[in-house]
Structure 1
Amino acid sequence: MDDLLARAIDLHARGELDAAAALYLQIIRAEPQHFDALHMLGVYSFQTGDLATAHRLITQALRVRPDAAAAHVHLSAVLQKQGRLQEALLAIQQALHLEPDNALALNNGATLLSADLKRPAEALPLLERALRLNDGDATAWNGMGYALIELRRLDEALLCLQRALQLQPGFALALYNQGNALQLQNRLEEAMRSYDAALVRQPDMVDAHFGQSACRLLAGDLQAGFQQYEWRWRKPAYQSIAQQYTQPVWLGDAPLQGKTLLVHAEQGLGDTLHMARYVPLLIAQGACVILRVQPALVPLLAAMAGMSGAAGWPGVTVIGDGEPLPSHDFRMPLMSLPLAFGTSLDTIPAGAPYVQADPARVAQWRARLGAAAGGAPRVGLAWAGNPKHDNDAARSLPLLAMRRLLNTGCDFIALQRDLSAVDRVLLAREPAIRSYAAEQTDFAETAALVAQLDLVICVDTSIAHLAGAMGKPVWLLLPYAPDWRWMLGREDSPWYPTMRLFRQQRAGDWDEVLQRVAAALVQFTPGQ
């Protein structure tokens, strides 16, 4: 059996997987509890995408030899791929208990902690140990760079990635991570070169294409940027969205007259509001539009479909995610609309308002709020976005930090619907700001509340898009490395004519931003 196993492992190492698997099976038929054959056949199953079989075989192998660290590492990889992340971490921890210096366990555990569990600080000790054992481990240097990027320690990350590339020139993943670090420092040209170098080695690296699309969009090259942005559909999360639909995608390449077009949300609430501006353009082409959006937006956008006149969306049907799909000829992901219309900086459909609040709800909120004391400007505040957003730590700030704005003589209304425990305590003690979180049951209610305001001050969240779509003055507080749609080096937005951008001058420094906002707020006069 030893000779047969050696032949199988040699074939496996040379990439002749099916031939190796046949030999593993031959061994198992003769010796059903043969650890190595069970283990390696499990690895083969993992490599060929049969996760259930891989899990069964490696688990069976570990019953034979529970002290085999390598099998625990491979079991962790299977569990990670299955989305069973806590179990995957336990398997890695068991491997490291058995072999504290197992380089594969150290590197895989670091990746699991940084990329999947979003606990990059816990990955650093594993990587430090790996590099103490072998300073020439390019994989560990790359992992260290990635973890430091997640922690926004970008200068240190770049040093680690440069070391990885010294050890392994052309290391595509390190080049990609280097591009990400440079992009987060707003060094777009250097980031593009790093992504280019990664794509020379791996032309189909989806994440590198996606990173380049963000760079192009940040630089204002919307046409090339949105073209490359289509690479998102090769990401697993987006593929699961696409699998919900069967009709062909419309990208501006077929007449819409008399056709039914399903336009569907694919990302966040703000993204949906951002791209809703294109619905009138589709109507103008003769399409019968079905707009499928997040349930919280249905009342607001359905009211638009029911409005008459130039502001309305005649003939549009608005449905929520999860509702049965009506028959349709084509489908259109919302974030692909700029590509379909060949949008450039000069052709953004930026007319506002393109979303309006329901008049009956507006009247109710007007009565609820009453008149502002002394005719003071009425200002809405939103300070935090969805905590599940990849960049939420950089884009959100605590309500406590915004207190410096409350001494400017304005009538403040909190627009934050989801309040943390600290927010609730502070709002209860702060008479200068009123909160109506419980009454904001959906975006139709929030829109009616926003309609009462003279100004909205907020971080990069859906409130910014709602207020901008309504044509309200918006002061948007942006992190140093902003989302692609806000571009770089400008105080206005071509997407929203009534928006003013207040950018961080240094990463993480909200104090300086809020000083400028407070100074501008003292000078603010509604309607000017």
Structure 2
Amino acid sequence: MTMPVSANLRSVPLATLDEALRAALRGDTARLHELCSLHPDSADFRHLAELSAAGRVALASPHHALERAWEHHGGERLLLARVAYQTALAVAPANREALSGLGILRMRFNDIPGSLTALTRAANLLGPTLQAADLHQTDRELEIRFGILAARALSTLADMINTAADVATVLSRLALPFRHAAGFYRELGMLVARRAVERMKEGDPIQAVALGRLSVILEPGLPEAYSNLGYASEMAGCYPQAYRPYLRGALANTDPSRRAYAYLMLKHLCFRLGLWDQFADLLPHKRNYGPLTWWNTLHPAPLWDGALKPGTSILIYAESGFGDVIQCIRYADYFQAHGMEVHVACDRRLVSLCRLVPGVTTVQAPPCRIGNVDWRVWSFDLFYMIERDPVRTFKAEGYLDLARGPEVGPVLERRPGELLVGIKWTTTDPAKDLPLDAFARLRVHPGIRFVSLQPEPPPAASILTVERPLDGFFGDAEDSFLATAQVIGQLDLVITADSVITHLAGALGVETWVALKAVPDWRWMVERDDSPLYDSLTLFRQPLGETSWDSVFDALEAVMRQRLVAEA
């Protein structure tokens, strides 16, 4: 096998080095010196000549050649070390230390077959005692090296593991050769778990589930493999089947942050499945998730414990995305109704919008000085602490009051018989984006007038003409959401991808049709065309396994025609 050149021999042609190595091994001093003369400045060739001479000494003392091998191996003169190991083995073929050293060395050259041959010969000399308690230190290192080699051998086959059947193929090739590697099945289980994640990213959740199931069979001690299996099952639309792997991964994980993250994934699944009675047990784990622990010491006020305390004040600290904040700011009115004063800290782009919520006393944008309050709570924690009924949430009818804010948005001119329809076709996730031209199918009546609700202009080649009254307002980041809300408040209907506009229109109580990908965000739950979060929403779901939006727009077109007939 042709080996790559080690770092300290790169100035010498590989073919010349290989020929010199073979001459040294067969004791052909004349040919070795002839090759050395081609590279008179190469200390490596001089070492080769010395080793060739040392080979004759090794006939009487193989330990001498082994010592030279260790010296060169430690000095990173890898080709020279190879000659020395093979010189020692030429005299003493059953020398376990030389076989082990040669196997390790060949691993450095990524010569997996050669390394496996040498290490297997060394291991076979030990027989069934390889894992016995009285193993010599060298033999223990040999077992460790087998594990490392197993990992490297498996990594070379990683690209061929795309299905569960491929795992069986790998087992048939490697299970017997690596019978001495105590960690072989663990390494294979870890590899299959990684491939399951990659298959998930490649858009094949079905194979990700199959590989995930195999990974936990091969190595039941991998908590992350269970969590990955839960996620793959969820993304494949096998929602109930995701519950046990998520729970198993959480229970088995000893790392507090990773365990907390596993519980967060389980909490989201419970949201999707309508198991809202489990929120109380799952939410406390969030405090241990590493990226979120800063919240524990952000402010001296204690965390809200869920008890209503009239006469006290509470700070709602906005977390996550804009849509998440809009969804959960509704609970300001909940506190006010129970005699509590509410202060909000949020992104500056949401300040003017949050002021539209009844019950809000003050709104500030971090980094700001947070005044003295009695309690503090994260905005999304409020949902998990308050809601228990997946049929309908608090303020599902809408809660943003445009009358509470200044008039900053454009006023739409409405002509008789028109149906004003706001549309949003792009999101932060390309898988959720809608084809703009497909909206042209929904203009089934000349009185339908489309209004863009997004800052990006439509593609130049689009066949659809979209009115853009908000163009002059998106440059003002602090009022762009408020201006968008004021435009939505003048519309008859909003049709949108799963984006912040969904929450904004729902919070305003405006009729909204939402196009969802086959496996949507967990908040849209399962097999429902309505949402407990907003009364005004109708959900249109992509069929499981499809990536085309044709069937969604077929349904949207049919409902649009029905609406026009009903209003005629």
Distance 1:142 1:432, change over 3 A: same
Distance 1:165 1:343, change over 3 A: closer
Q: Indicate yes or no: 2:355 matched with 1:302.
A: yes
Which stretch of the first structure deviates more once superposed, 123-132 or 201-210?
123-132
Q: Indicate yes or no: 2:316 matched with 1:278.
A: no
Counterpart position of 2:413: 370
Match of 1:141 among 192, 207, 214: 192
State the AA in 2 paired with 1:515: D
How many angstroms does 1:396 deviate by?
Answer: 2.6
Which stretch of the first structure deviates more once superposed, 99-108 or 516-525?
99-108
Q: Indicate yes or no: 2:547 matched with 1:506.
A: no
1:76-475 matched pairs, under 5 angstroms: 125=159, 137-202=188-253, 205-225=259-279, 227-253=281-307, 255-304=308-357, 312-313=358-359, 316-345=361-390, 348-358=393-403, 365-366=410-411, 369-372=412-415, 375-385=417-427, 387=428, 392-409=429-446, 410-419=448-457, 423-426=458-461, 430-434=464-468, 436-440=470-474, 441=476, 442-475=480-513
Distance 1:173 1:430, change over 3 A: same
Q: Is the 8 A contact 2:453 2:484 kept in 1?
A: yes
Q: Aligned partners of 1:316, 1:124: CA distance in 2, in Å?
A: 57
Q: Is the 8 A contact 2:314 2:342 kept in 1?
A: yes
Match of 2:516 among 463, 478, 483: 478
State the AA in 2 paired with 1:415: L
Distance 1:168 1:277, change over 3 A: same
Which SS does the other structure have where 1:492 is aligned? coil
State the AA in 2 paired with 1:188: Y
Q: State the TM-score, normalized to the length of structure 2.
A: 0.63
Q: Is the 8 A contact 2:440 2:464 kept in 1?
A: no
Q: Is the 8 A contact 1:264 1:334 kept in 2?
A: yes
How many angstroms does 1:342 deviate by?
Answer: 4.8
How many angstroms does 1:270 deviate by?
Answer: 0.6
Q: Runs in 1 of length 4+ with deviation above 6 angstroms?
A: 64-68, 100-108, 126-133
Root-mean-square deviation (CA), in Å?
3.6
Distance 1:169 1:524, change over 3 A: same
Q: Is the 8 A contact 1:350 1:494 kept in 2?
A: no
Q: Aligned partners of 1:296, 1:106: CA distance in 2, in Å?
A: 53
Q: Aligned partners of 2:148, 2:249: CA distance in 1, in Å?
A: 23
State the AA in 2 paired with 1:510: W
Q: Aligned partners of 1:142, 1:365: CA distance in 2, in Å?
A: 53
Q: Is the 8 A contact 1:406 1:432 kept in 2?
A: no
Distance 1:365 1:210, change over 3 A: same
Q: Is the 8 A contact 1:241 1:266 kept in 2?
A: no
Task: Point out the structure with max Rg over C-alpha.
Answer: 2
Q: Aligned partners of 2:405, 2:285: CA distance in 1, in Å?
A: 43
Distance 1:518 1:261, change over 3 A: same
Q: Aligned partners of 2:276, 2:325: CA distance in 1, in Å?
A: 18
Counterpart position of 1:117: none
Distance 1:67 1:408, change over 3 A: farther
Distance 1:355 1:394, change over 3 A: same
State the AA in 2 paired with 1:357: L
Q: Deviations over 1:452-478 (max 9, x none)?
A: 110011111111111111110011111
Q: Which has the higher contact order (CA 8 A, sep 6+)?
A: 1
Q: Deviations over 1:13-45 (max 9, x none)?
A: xxxxxxxxxxxxxxxxxxxxxxxxxxxxxxxxx
State the AA in 2 paired with 1:264: Y
How many angstroms does 1:417 deviate by?
Answer: 1.9
State the AA in 1 paired with 2:244: R
Q: Percent identity?
A: 23
Q: Deviations over 1:417-440 (max 9, x none)?
A: 245xxx34246x632544634423
Gaps of 5+ in 1: 1-63, 69-95, 112-122, 305-311
Counterpart position of 2:118: none
Counterpart position of 2:83: none
Gaps of 5+ in 2: 1-73, 79-106, 113-144, 176-184
State the AA in 2 paired with 1:489: E
Q: Deviations over 1:257-280 (max 9, x none)?
A: 222211011111111111111111
Distance 1:154 1:380, change over 3 A: same
Q: State the TM-score, normalized to the length of structure 1.
A: 0.68
State the AA in 2 paired with 1:379: V
Q: Is the 8 A contact 1:408 1:518 kept in 2?
A: no
Which SS does the other structure have where 2:519 is aligned? coil
